Amino acid sequence: MPVSIRRQAMEVTMAGLLAAFSAVVIYGSLQLASGWGDTGPQAGYFPLRLAVLLLAVSLALLVQAVRQPVQGTFADGTQLRRVFSLFGPTVVLAVAAPFLGFYLASALFLLYMCRVHGGFGWGRSLLIGFGAAIVLYAVFELWFGVPLARGPLEDWLDTLRTAA
């Protein structure tokens, strides 16, 4: 049996998730001072009001999705496989970055994407992956002085840079 997701199911799910997110932001904003103080708006003022508006919109979308169901398919099995072929490596990147460091994890991610999804050869993939990581390192670490998540390779490069 082919896998597919109905459009109405996706609309109801997304409206529900948006409502849940709004409720969490409202709860968090209420933990802060959310009124108008002597010097202007307090920390929870804007998030509370925006979350209330977002909650109202998400509930309206939920009611609309239930009352007026839209026929059709949101995604079929082939489309879902394509999405998850990109989503999986992105999750691996997010999990690996704290251990390998942002730059090495990004280089490996780009290398994989160039080889598997871009159809590039090894030379071009290595150039793109590690070239982009070197540019990011130069921009963030050297130019802006903003360190990103560091791993063993970045620490070694930093010791080389400070020793020189």
Residue 3, pLDDT above cutoff 70: yes
b/e map 73-102, b = 16+ CB within 10 Å: ebbeeeeeeeeeeeeebeeebeebbeebbb
* 59 vs 147, residue with greater confidence: 59
* 74 vs 157, residue with greater confidence: 74
Looking at the DSSP bridge assignments, the partners of residue 37 are 40
The whole-number pLDDT of residue 151 equals: 84
* 72 vs 111, residue with greater confidence: 111
Phi-psi region of 110 (alpha: psi -120 to 50; beta: other; left: phi over 0): alpha
Q: What is the pTM of this model?
A: 0.62
Residue 88, pLDDT above cutoff 80: yes
Quick one: pLDDT band at residue 56, thresholds 50, 70, 90? very high
The whole-number pLDDT of residue 37 equals: 80
The whole-number pLDDT of residue 85 equals: 92
Nearest partner of 14 among 85, 50, 66, 83, judged by Cα: 66
Phi, psi values for residue 116, rounded to 5°: -80, -50
Contacts of 162 by beta carbon, 8 Å cutoff, 6+ apart:
none
